[in-house]
Structure formats: C-alpha cells, structure tokens
Chain A
C-alpha cells in the first residue's frame, strides 16, 4: 500500500469484530509511533497498550466518545517536564498527534481499524492506568478489526483551504 492510498483510505472505525490483535501487530504499531518526528527530537511521548478485558472495560466506561469495545487501546501520553512552558505544552500535543497518525496509518495498512479519541475523562484514565502525575493522557487510539466500512466523510475543496503565496489567494488545482 502506498502512502497516499493509506492516507486516503483510512477511515475512523467505531465498530469492531471480536478478533484480537496479536502482540507482534501491536509492536509494529508502536514502531510506527516511535519513528514519528518530534519537536527537538525530544520523544516525550509514552504509549500505554491496553488489551486486558477488565482494563478495556474500565477505560470505555469513562470515555463517552468511544462507542464499541475495541480489541486494544493505545493511550498516547506526554511525559511532561515540570517546567514546561506554553510552547512545550503545545508541542506535546503536536508530537502525540503525529505519533497517533503514524499508528493509524500503519494499522490501516495491516487491515486494523482505528479511531482517535479525545472524549474521555483524563482524571479517570490517569487513575485506571496509574499514570504518574507528570504523565498526561493526550489521545486514545482505539484498535480492532473493522466491523463496518464507512463511506469517506465530505472534504472541503482544496480551493477553500489552501492558498498560494499569501492567505486569501486561493490554490488553483
């Protein structure tokens, strides 16, 4: 699968089959995350892989934005420095987002469906995963074999979002 095919073919999957994801597959996804770029190559991301049923059930109960039980979660966390300024705080989210996209694209290539969620109670997730105080769950990636094949949602035309040379001068394809 080439990169554009993966980018354009990936969908947010919210219904999963019961098929588990094996450890080797999960490690491949972690490798994809590990090779994402990060600001200043700081790599302050941390990944908590959750596969046990009891932990998955607990997480889902405190994640109103997750609608069906996935085979696994990868909770993408930031290991925050105690003196992090607003620039660094923004960087943590950017880095975790890029790593999450790597996970989702690699998963798509492997036939695994994903959905990235931010609608969860961070305090509850921190408690369930026993995260240290300085480690914040930035995003949750749900993973499982798809039980649905959603149509691509509409995308705005490039001319509405891309400009040439200066803002307002629309990009002409």
Chain B
C-alpha cells in the first residue's frame, strides 16, 4: 500500500475547518445532520484524494463518491433511501477494505 500523501496541505486545512465547524454547529442541529456531516466530510476527503492524482486506483472511490453525492441530500426528503445509502456505502467500504487486506496478505 502506498505511503504517498493523498491530501494536500491546503486540503488538510479545508477538511479541518469543515470538521471543527461541524462539531461546533452540530451541538444545536437536528441529530440526522450529524450523519450527513460525516458522510459529506467523507465525500470531501474522497474528492481531495481523487484530485491529488496520487491514488493507485481511483475507480472504487470515484464510484463511491458519485453514489454519496448523488443521494446525500435525500436526508432532507427521503430518509429511507438516505439510510440505504449509508448502509450501502459502509458495506462497500468493508468489501473494498477486505479486498485490500487480502491483497496485502497475499502480497499481490
């Protein structure tokens, strides 16, 4: 697995501003916004990593980001589909990480 930086210093600061602001304002926001900020933060992080050009493989993250961005706003109007997105994205991450762990073990 690569040890390369996939988020620039500028991107790091932007993510930090997002995380600190989210932590601050979520104190008073509706509880579902918490899940939204997390998945939106994940999308932003994927965006920086994809823009960096440093990833060995972009297909998985690009598809995942497209799925997240295409459905994340349903949090406001269609909770069922939004919850399905959260479940699907988490399952996809697990599947991908399992695959990566297996590839590491076999040395491929």
Contacts and interface: CB of A to CB of B under 8 A. Distances in A.
Q: Report, as a range, how many residues of chain B touch the other chain.
A: 10 to 19
Q: Is the interface of A mostly helix, strand, loop or mixed?
A: loop
A21 B22 CA distance: 29
Q: Report, as a range, how many residues of chain A touch the other chain.
A: 10 to 19
A120 B73 CA distance: 17
A88 to B, nearest CB: 20
Contacts of B77: 153-154
B24 interface: yes
A64 B76 contact: no
B17 A120 contact: no
Given A119-B29, A119-B33, A63 B76 contact: no
Given A61-B14, A64-B40, A121 B76 contact: no
Contacts, number: 31
B73 to A, nearest CB: 8
Given A62-B21, A119-B33, A124-B17, 13 more contacts: A61-B14, A61-B18, A62-B17, A64-B21, A64-B22, A64-B37, A64-B40, A119-B25, A121-B20, A121-B21, A121-B24, A123-B24, A124-B21
12 contacts: A61-B13, A61-B14, A62-B17, A62-B21, A64-B21, A119-B25, A119-B33, A120-B25, A121-B20, A121-B21, A124-B17, A153-B76
The 8 closest A-B pairs by CB, nearest first: A121-B21, A61-B17, A62-B21, A64-B22, A121-B24, A64-B21, A153-B77, A61-B14
